[in-house]
């Protein structure tokens, strides 16, 4: 006697279906195809339809609107920062030019003062020498 | 035409997805014995089993785009056939006792060349399997008709693997007990 498992395997072996089962299935598919698209059409359109229906969900719409607002605010903030930076650059350049001019003028004035001092000290030394010779 | 090789099934699958009805017919012919037998062994009613098989293949046609490979197709068909059969079984009488089981109008014979050695025992066993609760019955059919492993049955039926193991052990114990009771002197 075989074990129960083997008997079950034999008893539950695959059974031949009615010979026209496939034809009947195809006939039913033929009936439904008039109302439903073919699988290839489903494949072609399903991705777009899925995307469209996904985009049309209220949650996704809100998320997209929020994201667009964030992008707009970001663009405005970045634009303002750039404008401020450009102004600061221009001011710095002006300041540099002004400092260069001031420095040049100060240098010239300093040189003039030194020259006058040198002339005056020379005159004073001559006068001192003249007075000494007169005393002698 | 019958597509036996997996490459043939893959080819038929891709052609079916492009809308070729002949290729879809090949897919149906390739898997009809599996789907029909699952339903038949579960429901013990040829007409109902045929209806289930037709619905499963119609369902497949509508969901061809989601099928990834020949292996996935087989898994998908088993799963849908299993759940459809359980649904149909739920609409049938809730529970069949051994005495209530009618003899099939058409004798259920296996596909293969060599029939079971003891047709009477095979018929009794099919009747006893039909008397099991729905979940246990499907586990037994998947295990002994499709020769699936425990984890495969668990995936198809969407139940934990431990439930499959315990269900199968319990079912075998019940079947052994009932068979001994009805066979009398026949030792299994």
Encode pLDDT of B66-117 as tens digits: 888 899 999 999 999 999 999 988 887 655 444 444 444 444 445 444 544 5
Which has more confidence, A82 or B15?
A82
* pLDDT over threshold 80, residue A47: no
d(CA A91, CA A111): 30
Residue B172, chain A, CB below 8 Å: the answer is yes
Angle at B56 between CA A54 and CA B76, to 5 degrees: 65
Interchain proximity B125–A8, CB inside 8 Å: yes
Residues of chain B below pLDDT 50: 1-3, 96-109, 111-113, 115-116, 185-188
Domains of chain B: 6-183 (1.20.140.160)
pLDDT of residue B100: 46
Q: Where does the pLDDT of residue A30 fall: very low under 50, low under 70, confident under 90, or very high at 90 and above?
A: confident
Window 102-141 of B: residues touching A by CB (8 A cutoff) are 108-112, 116-118, 121-123, 125-126, 129, 140-141
d(CA B39, CA B60): 16
Average the pLDDT over each of A42-51, A125-134, B171-180 and give the range with the smallest value: A42-51
Nearest by CB: B172 against A4, A40, A46: A4
Mean pLDDT, rounded, for A101-114: 95
Interchain proximity B33–A9, CB inside 8 Å: no
> Which residues lie below 8 Å from residue B143, measured CB to CB, with a gap of 6+?
B153, B168
pLDDT of residue B144: 92
Mean pLDDT, rounded, for A45-73: 84
* pLDDT over threshold 70, residue A42: no
Euclidean distance between the first and the last CA atom of chain B, given in angstroms as a whole number: 41
Distance (Å) from the alpha carbon of A63 to chain B's nearest alpha carbon: 29
pLDDT of residue B94: 55
Window 14-43 of A: residues touching B by CB (8 A cutoff) are 14-18, 21-26, 28-30, 32, 36, 38-43
SS3 content of chain A, % helix, strand, coil (to 5): 85, 0, 15
In this prediction the pTM is 0.60
Mean pLDDT, rounded, for A46-71: 84
Burial of A50 (0-12, 13-18, 19+ CB in 10 A): exposed
> Which residues lie below 8 Å from residue B188, measured CB to CB, with a gap of 6+?
A1, A3, A4, A7, B176, B179, B180
> Which residues lie below 8 Å from residue A80, measured CB to CB, with a gap of 6+?
none
d(CA B115, CA B122): 10
Phi, psi of A30 (to 5 degrees): -60, -40
pLDDT of residue A88: 96
Contacts of B17 in chain A (CB under 8 A): 39-40, 43
Q: Where does the pLDDT of residue A39 fall: very low under 50, low under 70, confident under 90, or very high at 90 and above?
A: low
Interchain proximity B37–A14, CB inside 8 Å: yes
Give which of A3, A9, A14, A41 to mutate to test B binding, by max B Cβ within 10 Å. Answer: A14
Burial of A51 (0-12, 13-18, 19+ CB in 10 A): exposed
pLDDT of residue B11: 85
Tally DSSP H helices, then E strands, for chain B.
8, 0
């Amino acid at each position: 006697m075989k074990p129960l498992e083997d008997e079950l395997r034999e008893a539950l072996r695959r059974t031949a279906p009615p010979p026209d089962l496939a034809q009947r299935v195809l006939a039913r598919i033929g009936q439904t195809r008039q109302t439903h698209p073919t699988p290839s059409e489903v494949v072609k359109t399903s991705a777009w339809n899925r995307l469209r229906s996904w985009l049309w969900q209220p949650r996704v719409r809100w998320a997209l609107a929020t994201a667009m607002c964030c992008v707009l605010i970001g663009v405005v903030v970045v634009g303002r920062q750039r404008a401020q930076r450009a102004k600061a650059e221009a001011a710095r350049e002006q300041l540099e030019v002004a400092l260069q001019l001031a420095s040049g003028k100060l240098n010239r004035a300093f040189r003039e003062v030194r020259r006058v001092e040198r002339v005056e000290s020379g005159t004073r030394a001559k006068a001192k020498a003249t007075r000494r010779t007169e005393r002698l | 035409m019958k597509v036996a090789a997996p490459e043939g099934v893959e080819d038929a699958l891709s052609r079916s997805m492009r809308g070729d009805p002949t290729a879809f017919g090949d897919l149906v012919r390739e898997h009809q014995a599996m789907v029909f037998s699952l339903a038949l062994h579960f429901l013990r009613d040829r007409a109902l089993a045929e209806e289930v098989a037709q619905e499963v293949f119609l369902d497949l046609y509508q969901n061809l785009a989601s099928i990834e490979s020949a292996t996935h197709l087989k898994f998908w068909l088993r799963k849908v056939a299993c759940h459809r059969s359980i649904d149909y079984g739920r609409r049938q009488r809730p529970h069949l006792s051994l005495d209530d089981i009618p003899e099939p109008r058409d004798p259920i014979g296996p596909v293969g060349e060599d029939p079971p050695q003891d047709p009477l025992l095979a018929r009794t066993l099919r009747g006893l399997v039909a008397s099991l609760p729905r979940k246990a019955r499907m586990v037994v059919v998947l295990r002994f008709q499709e020769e699936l492993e425990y984890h495969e049955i668990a995936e198809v039926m969407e139940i934990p693997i431990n439930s499959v193991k315990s269900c199968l052990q319990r079912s075998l114990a019940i079947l052994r007990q009932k068979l001994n009771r009805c066979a009398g002197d026949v030792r299994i």
